[in-house]
Structure 1
Amino acid sequence: MALVRQTLVYDGPGGPFEGVAAWDDAVSGKRPAVLVLPNILGQKEEDNVKADALAALGYVALVADVYGQGKRTTLGDPEMGRYMAELNADRGLLRARLEASLEALASLAQADGARMAAIGFCFGGKCVLDMARAGLPILGGVSFHGVYDRPDYANVSPITAKLLVCHGWEDPIAPPEATVALAQELTDAGADWQLHAYGHAGHAFTDVSRKGGDNPKVAFEPRADRRSWQAMTTFLTELFG
């Protein structure tokens, strides 16, 4: 294995944007491509490690930047949600930036642009769902402890992207009624969807930086983290099979 990381600066509305791509240089030819959508903080090393792990599975991955070059926040920052809030208020702009990020992934020499997927965490999980809702050209997507509110534009019908929703049942940001509403939305849209709900897990269950925090409902949970990644691995194998 010869793991490669590469910074990728790309254009889009409100850009430029700066992401990080990863692939195994020992693999020849084009391969399936996976877009990684970060949480509230934006692109960071934790996301790059996820891209490395996808590269080790034989994919080419790009950690997307939907905030803009240099626009990042940190855990504990009183305004850590400021860039996310701008896009929550303009879901059409978010859609356009997701489309630009997907085009940047497809532009990589290692990427098979006909076989692309997306995974996302927290706000990134919302991004994955919005990509499917908007009909962007992904075969499928995985939302990890995502946010489920619908955008203010109409879904495509049917939603053709297959979806795996990995959900912490104790998540205060996505309570049971929001989770059931998402299931109904996806059913009404004709999507091929599945929901994995993890008991005794809340929001951010994949986020190791939340280990040992004082709020058990927004915390790293190792069993849910392990099980959801395995579920994603199986999902992508089937998707690209």
Structure 2
Amino acid sequence: MEFLLALASIMMVNIVLSGDNAVVIAMASRCLPPKQQKMAILWGSAGAIGLRVILTLVAVVLLQIPYVQFIGGLLLIWIAAKLLMEDKCEENVEASGSFMAAIKTIIVADLVMSLDNTLAIAAVAKGDYMLLALGLALSIPLIIFGSQLIIKIMDKYPIVVYAGAALIAWTAGEMMISDHKIGPVIHGVFPEWLVPAAITIGVLVVSVWWKKSHQEQGADSGAKASHSTQQ
């Protein structure tokens, strides 16, 4: 009974903590063909769970290293902006390259996002690695089905893409202010909510500006090419 209660607790923790992972997987794989999309979700989810198991074994030590969370937060900001800038799927990108890029993005993002999540899971497992592995393995369907659901929502409501990027950017801000070295300095200067909010707004504004400027450049190039053809 105690084992089952602990397993149920790990499942609940994973339901709560896997939401951002499902968002990353969904955003990274949404532009792939249907068959490759499913494969990217499967491999990305498996990699996410595998990384979480490994990180749980070293999380307590790893998170004590100064600047790890701050650097991880910076990396996550780049991932959020990259996913948003690639909002419009490029048809001229080879499918194999897109597939590998999606897998790479999923693995890197989950590696960063799992650093602080694994502490909660390790605390529930209380050193029982069999219980930990079983609980995390059972969470794979949660991430897979969650990713597929988010992709369908994004296809129907493109504005959700921006919400997903905002969630990742906010997570990055929270990681940065949780760093043992830099976090206290930030807390001493700014309110706790200000840094994640500023990063989220910054990622959205810069990404929208970047996309708009590139669209204008593309339109200008197209107009010049058309003019040259006519001449």
**TM score, norm. by length of structure 1:** 0.27
Higher helix share: 2
Which structure ranks higher in relative contact order (CA pairs < 8 Å, sequence separation ≥ 6)? 2
- Whichever of the two has the greater Rg, that structure is 2
